[in-house]
Amino acid sequence: MSSRISGFHKLPLKRRLKALKAFSGLSKDDIKILTHNSALEEKTADIMIENVVGTTQLPIGIATNFRINNKDYLIPMAIEESSVVAAASHAAKLARESGGFIATSDEPIMIGQIQLMGVKNISKAKRDIVAKFNEIKNLVNNNDSILEKLGGGMKEIEVRSVSSGRGDILIVHILVDVRDAMGANAVNTYCETIAPYLEKLTGGRSVLKIISNLAVKRMVRVRAVWKKALIGKDVIDGILDAYELACVDPYRAATHNKGVMNGIDSVIIATCNDWRAVEAGAHAYASISGTYSPLTKYEKNKNGDLVGMIELPLAAGLVGGATRIHPIAKISLKIMGVKSAKELAEIAASVGLANNFAALRAMVREGIRRGHMKLHETNIAANAGGHDEEIDTVARQMIKEDMITVSRAHEILKTIRSDNRKKAIKRIIKNVEKKVSHKKKK
């Protein structure tokens, strides 16, 4: 079944849910949870974090049209911002004409850091640690036989040193294959297990023993082509110009990458993965050269089509944490039909590239305010205090005038309500006159 569902956004909620159920094989109970305001039960929330007093929700939209590695997807996106889901869906629709998104990713290797202070002979300590690699590896893998049986566990070790205001620091990196987990718990446990051994081996004192969210061993790369015939030569040139500004100016690069993370975060949040870790890793990687740079890259191919690419570290998991506890997270994974953490990361990165392309295209064609606000008019009307039918009336009038602002919404609302009051008064007067006339006749 294709994820290209024409007019999906125009369908009533019941029909959208019917289409989603048919595509993903959701049960009646799945649909009930998706549409119920208390999907996350209080007792479950109480397990997840401390001091629970309730839960909050974000809207979940479905990005349509996505084809990634020759497989069709409907993708849940949890976000409060208007236009993001629509933009991703349209970008994916345009990319389908060239085969969609092609994604690759590294093995799920996470880095654990052990900080050693007070090591007297750094050079000797480095050699000793490398020489004892097998002993160190056995020390942790024997304690986590399940992960090792699944093909994971500690794989390599790296040692480096840096100078600081507190003296020289010996940093030991352990590289752990975490399989389908995000990996924080396993890696942190490994680091804490190894630290006492390293203290004895080096004569140093361990301080931090924790995962690094700069997951450069766990990279994702996605490529897509948008044909010149579909988006136009002028738009392609405009996107390339805008991309160049992001390459040379960190003020623009920050906003450029925010557009990328609109898409990535939405997928990560929908699956209850750690979006703060993903954000930290993405922005750290954007700065790894010493200058904050865009996470995406754009160029023309020999046909003059636009080629978009993204590369970034992206650690997402299917097991552990909230992903297997939160009911919406479980349904989100079911909708996408993902089989591995690698696949989930490739999906999220594809959505990030789609949203970045869509934002650039909107800016160079009509300006981000106009393109964005056309999809934001109902929120503006509601923020101005509109209710029920008023919201649609205000939204239509703002679109007609091309003045989509809160102040204009207030003015339109005031006029509508004034007119309604006048009509109501006229009706009352008319009814009174009818009653008086009826009494006179009697």
- The catalytic residue among 30, 265, 274, 346 is 274
What average pLDDT does the segment 270-280 reach? Answer: 97
Kindly write down the DSSP assignment for every residue of 67-99, as one continuous string: EETTEEEEEEEE-SSTTHHHHHHHHHHHHHTTT
Kindly write down the DSSP assignment for every residue of 130-172, as one continuous string: HHTHHHHHHHHHTT-HHHHHTT-EEEEEEEEEEEETTEEEEEE
The CA distances from residue 203 to 118, 122, 159, 199, 300, in Å, are 8, 10, 15, 5, 56
Verify whether residue 274 is a known catalytic residue: yes
pLDDT value, residue 12: 84
pLDDT value, residue 422: 74
Q: Is the pLDDT of residue 238 over 70?
A: yes
The predicted-structure confidence for 39-70, as pLDDT tens digits, reads as follows: 888 788 888 888 777 788 899 999 999 999 99
pLDDT value, residue 401: 77
Q: Is the pLDDT of residue 210 over 90?
A: yes
Is the CB of residue 406 less than 8 Å from the CB of residue 396?
Answer: no
Tell me how far apart the alpha carbons of residues 195 and 175 are, in angstroms, rounded to a whole number: 15
Q: Where are the domains of the chain?
A: 8-105+218-374, 109-212, 380-441
Is the CB of residue 108 less than 8 Å from the CB of residue 369?
Answer: no
**Buried b / exposed e along 204-237 (16+ C-beta atoms within 10 A):** bebeebebbbbbebbbbebbbbbbbeebeeebbe
- The catalytic residue among 137, 372, 374, 376 is 372
Q: Is the pLDDT of residue 233 over 90?
A: yes
What average pLDDT does the segment 104-130 reach? Answer: 97
Tell me how far apart the alpha carbons of residues 415 and 412 are, in angstroms, rounded to a whole number: 5
User: Which CATH entry fits the domain spanning 8-105+218-374: 3.90.1330.10, 1.10.10.10, 3.30.450.40, 3.90.770.10?
Assistant: 3.90.770.10
Instruction: Work out whether strand 219-226 and strand 167-177 pair parallel, antiparallel, or are unpaired.
Output: unpaired
> Kindly report the CA angle at 57 between 52 and 61, in degrees rounded to 5?
155
Q: Is the pLDDT of residue 144 over 70?
A: no
Tell me how far apart the alpha carbons of residues 119 and 102 are, in angstroms, rounded to a whole number: 47
The predicted-structure confidence for 186-198, as pLDDT tens digits, reads as follows: 999 999 999 999 9
User: Out of 80-84, 244-248, 262-266, which region has the weakest mean confidence (pLDDT)?
Assistant: 80-84
Kindly write down the DSSP assignment for every residue of 249-312, as one continuous string: -HHHHHHHHHHHHHHHHHHHHHTT--HHHHHHHHHHHHTTTSS---SEEEEE-TTS-EEEEEEE
Q: Is the pLDDT of residue 150 over 90?
A: no
Verify whether residue 311 is a known catalytic residue: no
What average pLDDT does the segment 186-212 reach? Answer: 96
- The catalytic residue among 258, 297, 330, 334 is 258
On whether the 109-212 domain is CATH 3.30.70.420, my answer is: yes
The CA distances from residue 20 to 16, 74, 266, 286, 330, in Å, are 6, 8, 18, 36, 15
pLDDT value, residue 374: 54
Which residues make Cβ contacts (< 8 Å) with residue 282, sequence separation at least 6? 257, 260, 261, 264, 295, 312, 313, 314
Q: Which of 2, 237, 1, 20 is nearest to 96 (CA)?
A: 2
Q: Could you give the 3-state DSSP secondary structure of residue 329?
A: helix
Q: Could you give the 3-state DSSP secondary structure of residue 239?
A: helix
φ, ψ of residue 339 in degrees (nearest 5): -110, -10
Binned at pLDDT 50, 70 and 90, residue 370 comes out as low
Is the CB of residue 323 less than 8 Å from the CB of residue 344?
Answer: no
- The catalytic residue among 81, 158, 311, 411 is 81
Verify whether residue 120 is a known catalytic residue: no
CB atoms within 10 A of CB 388: 7
What average pLDDT does the segment 126-136 reach? Answer: 96
Verify whether residue 372 is a known catalytic residue: yes
Q: Is the pLDDT of residue 274 over 70?
A: yes
